[in-house]
Homo-oligomer: A and B are copies of this chain.
Amino acid sequence: MVSQLKPSTRLLLGPGPSNVSYRVLRAMCTPLVGHLDPQFLEIMDETCQMVRDVYQTSNQMTFPVSGTGSAGMEASFVNILEPGDKVIIGVNGVFGMRMKDVAARCGAQVIEVEAEWGQPLDVQQLIETCQANPDAKACAVVFAETSTGVRQPLEELGAHLKNTEILFLVDAVTALGAIDLQVDNWGIDICYACTQKGLSVPPGLSPVTFSPKAMNVVNNRKSKVQSWYLDLSMLGKYWGEERVYHHTAPISMIYALNEGLRVIFEEGLAKRFERHAAASRSLAAGLGKLGFSFFAAEGYRLPQLMAVYLPDGVAEGNLRNTLLTKYDIEVGGGLGPVAGKIWRIGLLGENARSQAVAALLYALNQELAA
């Protein structure tokens, strides 16, 4: 017989998951009702409305995909792309690369706009690439690149795309609930995120939203969507008014998302974003004093996810392990080409607080002074 579940109580300051409030944990203990129970349908409707509010959108087609953020990414691409379609993708980190891989598996022709890791994509270059390819189905960028800590400017590109046939597709996995994201005002057509970062809900769902312009593309496909599980034409009939059974919704996770969003709106989005910014300033100042330096270009740094070089001569793996085993604090290592070279420190959702900043800075001070 395997032993009882008794993991340590960690302070999760990596790129996600973040810690979850006791209210969200408690919500998961709510007894199950059926996935077509009138009471559950009401909870679904409330949840979708709060997802719209956190995305700052009025898009009808807004709901949580029954999978993690990567399932939301896949849902975003497979529903609009058909074999041979062109798609423009910005690549300056792991998640831009992942978008490229997902789009290519749809048989699409990927037109890549690259930037160095740690730098944002050049907005002018993106706009020119869109102008040169007016028949592209979408232009896709990552708002908050989890592998580099870079914040991609969106507004100018969105304003340009509004007047084209091209859809604006945005990865907001590390952004939603942590920094301002105005889907409607910024002209975003398709956006996906996760639950376990800025929303501080356990991983397992991916809130997505599709504009009427995006749904027009979805509804005029020539071929079936290659994924049955992620096919919006069927998912929309369960999450929308028709309530046609598609698959069994992850009920307890919907409870968790519902409660997590209620916690967010009790605080208010503006206050929440300011809390993230304040915690970040305080952490950045403390890290600077300890000899850490920033990986992401100045002016484009995410408050909620800092990518940093360690002080000279410090072995990152050893120190990261010491933080975990001696202090129960998790920070993230680098991915891909920057593995072993940088750390990624998240102040996401519940963890964007002075208490968390203090715990990490104290532990680092102790270990680096030793």
Contact = CB atoms under 8 A, between A and B. Distances in A.
Interface in A1-44: 1-10, 12, 14, 16-17, 19-20, 25-35, 37, 39-40, 43
A248 B15 CA distance: 11
A354 B205 CA distance: 36
A33 B6 CA distance: 10
Interface stretch (A65-73, A111-119, A183-191, A289-297): A65-73
Contacts of A16: 248
Contact of A31 (B7, B226, B248, B252): B7
Interface stretch (A136-144, A256-264, A271-279, A360-368): A256-264
Nearest to A74: B229
Interface in A87-139: 98, 101-102, 104-106
A243 interface: no
A304 to B, nearest CB: 16
A40 to B, nearest CB: 7
A20 B70 CA distance: 28
B256 A202 contact: no
14 contacts: A7-B37, A10-B34, A12-B34, A16-B248, A17-B32, A34-B330, A67-B229, A69-B247, A73-B228, A196-B248, A203-B248, A226-B227, A252-B252, A253-B253
Interface of A: 1-10, 12, 14, 16-17, 19-20, 25-35, 37, 39-40, 43, 46, 49-50, 66-71, 73-74, 98, 101-102, 104-106, 194, 196, 202-204, 224-229, 245-253, 255-256, 258-259, 262, 265-266, 324, 330, 335
